[in-house]
Chain A
Amino acid sequence: MIDPAATLAPEEAVQKLKYYQKGTFTVGNRLVAEEERTVQASQARSNALTCGHRACQGCGEALGARYAIDAAMRATNNNLIAVNATGCLEVFTTPYPETSWQLPWLHSLFGNAAAVATGVAAAMRVKKRPEVRVIAQGGDGGTTDIGFQCLSGMFERNDDVLYICYDNEGYMNTGVQRSSATPPTARTATTPALGPEPGNVFGTGKSVPRIAVAHNIPYVATATVADLHDLERKVIKAMSIHGARYIQINVPCPLGWGSASHDTIRLARLAVECGLYPIFEADHGKVTQVRKIRRQVPVQDYLKLQRRFAHLFKGGHEDPRIARLQAMCDANIAEYGLVDATGKDG
């Protein structure tokens, strides 16, 4: 008898560990060894963002922040200080005199979180407390728009700060206005679904992950709340590195996107699977890892679940601009090599 395993290459002889059950994205915590389970699966999690806050039902930002900060707490043995930009996360967690934060937390202004975090990190250096690490966090408005100059300065100086941007693609706290992270055609309060070309225009917006990579900082990553294992891993990895680091997390916003609160995870997944939100890691200016798309879905599948894109499907007709959105997805897929030629899993 020939042992079938003997005919395989050594690395194939061992069954590869799969986090995901076939055909789903359900993370099988029960299927993996205890040390590989999520931080959230552990009773020792810090609950750094604890219950009782006032986020909306299905808030992607609250979910992302909880996973990210708890992962960073574990990575630093709870020696963590957070600086928060003004925005939803700040408002729903700290209505005076209450707070949901179980770690030292400072809110200064909308546009200065990165600089304030630089100051905290400098204080820790001068106080000779290298074990205490610093996180800055904010929404896409506080990061890609008003906080961009401070962010770029922090990157350029390579200050020892992990900046986390919870990207819900608009100014949700002030009532859903357009930011430079709002996708084309999306309806917001300042890009209304009116006129011959309703919604946000094409040819604008900025990709801060790409800009962060261009600063040659030690670590840049994108993530979503659909893949929380991956998010935790990236935060933990970021905390193992010193210098300026940037993680941008796609966090669907039921209120701003006009989506069902139970679709938050599904939308974050579809944003990746259609190619609109490339998931990658970069090390000192070089992309080192991309999250492959197993089955590319048409962008319509992502758009149709959100009322901010409803005008694209009005009256049973598809707006021709959907093809331009699809082209954006395809360009991302080509740029980052998100789909393997064989079409198989990455």
Chain B
Amino acid sequence: MLKQIEGSHAMAEAIALCRPEVICAYPITPQTHIVEGLGELVKEGALVDCEYINVESEFAALSVAIGASAAGARAYTATASQGLLFMAEAVYNASGLGLPIVMTLGNRAIGAPINIWNDHSDAMSMRDAGWLQLFAETNQEAVDLHIQAFKLAEELSMPVMVCVDGFILTHAVERIDIPTQQQVDAYLPPYDPVQVLDPAEPASIGAMVGPEAFTEVRFLAHYKQTLALKLIPEFSEEFSKAFGRESGGLLRTYRAEDADMLVVAMGSVCGTIKDTIDEMREDGIRIGLVVIVSFRPFPVAALRTALAAAKNVVVVEKSIAVGMGGQLADNVDVALRNLPRPPRLHSSVAGLGGRPITRASLHHLFRQASVQPWEGTNFLDLNERVVGREIHRTRKNRRSGPTAENILRQLGKSVPPVAE
């Protein structure tokens, strides 16, 4: 049914349609509206046979989900940013134990300096934790990916993180098609765990494993993610047949057929990139987009095929591995490195801490990539004047004070932004 609805509430309704049995709720911006929405559905009796537990931390939220999942219940929680870091130990534990928990991540920057706005730093911090990580481009896809996530998680006995851009998606009110209970029930069978805590059949779960078997355990986790590379497109196709729209998959392309330049990105920024591409196409520039939906497992083979014919690849990502560069660009490089004539790779870090990524900046970036390529990482819309002053100041003065506050002070003196 079409509804004019906030993204978070649409996701809450979709998750409720998946009949979760245990929901662990702990507030953190910008995810909070999702668990609030679920709380309303449980309290008013719309979502039955569900335990809604208000926990005391994110670490407890995922730990309660671990216990519930190991005992055979469909478990769900949501978090963001600092919350994901606080539960980090349990994030690895959930995947290590093979528990099909679904968690929404309302993508947000990580402090310090504290910042509540959107980027992908939080998701990237857990990229190697053994979870599947799916990125939603739109709120419709966010709704759809949650339904697919439960199916994937339970088929593979692996946890799935559905990554949705904080505020840009979570707080946007728009027209979203919410499926019916019958549709979701037909698509998503009840949870049938591969192993469960049951007094009728006692098993010990979570034993200590030494060097004699640890490599094999890890190999099998990696192997399962390679199985997901097949299963994700399958379940996405099954979804489009059942629900009448395309959502999910490993990746998808936009105007890529004859493109010399391909942009690679994840999440909601793909909308702005598509608009930019449309404008550049009108100017006769052969440019297209590859939208990564599945960041883990990373679709190396599919991406290699998609990028093989391009001359230039521009990766636009909302995260930075400090001291190294963009994580997505680094991963894309893996897909390109064994091509006989690989396209040139350009990496741009954009939209950190919620900075808007504008079409104007993207136009400039993509044109620059074709005429004036750069090495390393480009920081889109970096205020070089402010950065330069701060570097100069800290060199001059040993007791230079906190960088973040100093930059804010500079901006307060209305330093004009860098000219386009």
* Interfacial residues, chain A to chain B (CB-CB below 8 A): 78-81, 83-84, 90-91, 94-99, 101-109, 111-112, 115-127, 132, 149-150, 152-153, 156-157
Residues of A within 8 A of B90 (CB): 108-109, 112
Instruction: Give the docked Cα–Cα distance between A95 and B210 (Å).
Output: 8
> What are the residues of chain B within 8 A of A126 when measuring CB–CB?
21-22, 49-51, 73
Out of B67, B201, B202, B209, name the residue touching A116 (CB < 8 Å).
Answer: B67
In the complex, A123→B66 CA distance in Å?
Answer: 10
A-contacting residues, B137-166, CB 8 Å: none
Of all chain B residues, which has the CB nearest A119? B67
| CB nearest to B87 among chain A residues | A112
Q: Which chain A residue has the least Cβ–Cβ distance from B96?
A: A108
Q: Which of B52-60, B380-388, B389-397 contacts A (4 or more CB under 8 A)?
A: B52-60
The CA-CA distance from A156 to B63 in the complex, in Å, is 16
How many B residues face the partner with a CB closer than 8 A?
Answer: 43
How many residue pairs bridge A and B at CB < 8 Å?
159
Judged by a CB distance under 8 angstroms, whether B203 is at the interface is yes
Q: How far is A94 from B204 in the complex, measured between Cα atoms in Å?
A: 8
Q: A94-B208, A109-B93 are in contact. Are A120 and B57 (CB under 8 A)?
A: no
Would you call B97 an interface residue if the criterion is a C-beta within 8 Å of the partner chain's C-beta atoms?
A: yes
In residues 31-57 of chain B, which contact A (Cβ within 8 Å)?
49-51, 53-57
Bound-state CA distance A79–B97 (Å) is 23
In whole angstroms, what is the CA distance A13 to B53 when docked? Answer: 54
Question: Which residue of B has the minimal Cβ distance to A159?
Answer: B53
A112 with B199: CB separation less than 8 A: no
Q: Which 4 A-B pairs have the closest CB atoms?
A: A119-B67, A107-B206, A123-B71, A153-B56
Q: Is B329 an interface residue (CB 8 A)?
A: no
What are 30 sample pairs from A and B whose C-beta atoms fall under 8 A apart?
Answer: A94-B207, A96-B207, A96-B213, A97-B213, A102-B202, A103-B202, A104-B197, A104-B199, A105-B202, A105-B203, A105-B204, A105-B205, A106-B206, A107-B205, A107-B206, A115-B59, A116-B64, A116-B66, A119-B53, A119-B65, A119-B69, A120-B67, A120-B71, A122-B53, A123-B21, A123-B51, A123-B71, A127-B73, A132-B199, A156-B56
Interface flags, B60-97, vs A, CB<8A=1, else 0? 10011111111111010000000000000110010001
Please tell me if the beta carbons of B72 and A112 are within 8 angstroms of each other in the complex.
Answer: no
Contacts of B51 in A (CB 8 A): 122-123, 125-126
Are B199 and A79 neighbours in the complex by a CB distance under 8 Å? yes
**B71 x A119 contact (CB < 8 A):** yes
Closest to A131 in B: B199
A108 touches B67 (CB 8 A): yes
Interface centre among B22, B55, B67 (most CB of A within 10 A): B67
